[in-house]
Amino acid sequence: MTLTVDAAHRAALPAGHTGCHLAALALNAALAHRWRRTPRADSLGHPDFDQAAIVSSRIEPFGSQDEYRVGRSLRRGGFEPAGLADDLPAVADQVNAALAGWVAIRGTVRVAARGSGLTDHREWVCELPDGQARMPCGGTHVGTLADLGSVRVSLTLDESGQQFKMRTAVGRG
């Protein structure tokens, strides 16, 4: 029996995965001013909206789709969603500007393990201008942000105003 890896598909998934992590960090920064109370911070020091509000995340070839809740329980946690529907285009612009700047610096990306065992804690690590970004992750990623080419997001709020979606698209480097 011979197994063959589809190299193009194999390259597309790590690009989407890395883009997803970058987009989450940029979204955290763009929404930081909406917190009345400071929740847990991400590795760059911004309130971690991504971890507080994530409902689902799906990695795709050269992209991802993430859904976030913005309802009552998040408001009780200190997030202020008032006016978010009107502000989404500006939030997307801010996220996209951060992503373009980060990709342009061509920082390195790696997964760091706390040991050699299969179950040892692993973190995604990325060199960015504001410091080293880290988050728990044992998945596969590109080796440098230059491999992404570009990363852009679009944001859409559902009709109820209780959830929004972030679609991340990665251009080929």
Can you list the domains of the chain with their CATH numbers? 8-171 (3.30.980.10)
- Which pLDDT does position 130 carry in this prediction? 86
- Which pLDDT does position 60 carry in this prediction? 95
Both tokens of 158, joined, read 């559902």
**Could you give the maximum distance between any two Cα atoms of the chain, in Å?**
59
What DSSP line would sit under 69-84, residue for residue? E-SHHHHHTTB--TTH
pLDDT higher at 34 or 71: 34
Residue type, 97: A
- How do residues 117-137 score in pLDDT, each as one tens digit? 777 778 999 999 989 999 999
pLDDT band at 172 (very low <50, low <70, confident <90, very high): low
> First CA to last CA across the chain, in angstroms?
34
Residue 169: pLDDT over 60: yes
The 8 Å CB, 24+ separation contacts for 97-100 are 98/25, 98/26, 98/29, 98/30, 99/22, 99/23, 99/26, 99/150, 99/151, 99/152, 99/153, 100/150, 100/151
- Which pLDDT does position 15 carry in this prediction? 96
What mean pLDDT comes out for the span 32-45? 94
- How do residues 63-115 score in pLDDT, each as one tens digit? 999 999 998 889 999 999 999 999 999 999 999 999 999 999 999 999 988 87
Residue 151: pLDDT over 60: yes
> Is the pTM for the entire model greater than 0.85?
yes
Residue % of the chain over a pLDDT of 90: 77
Residue % of the chain over a pLDDT of 70: 99
What are the start-end ranges of the E strands in 29-119? Answer: 54-60, 63-69, 109-113
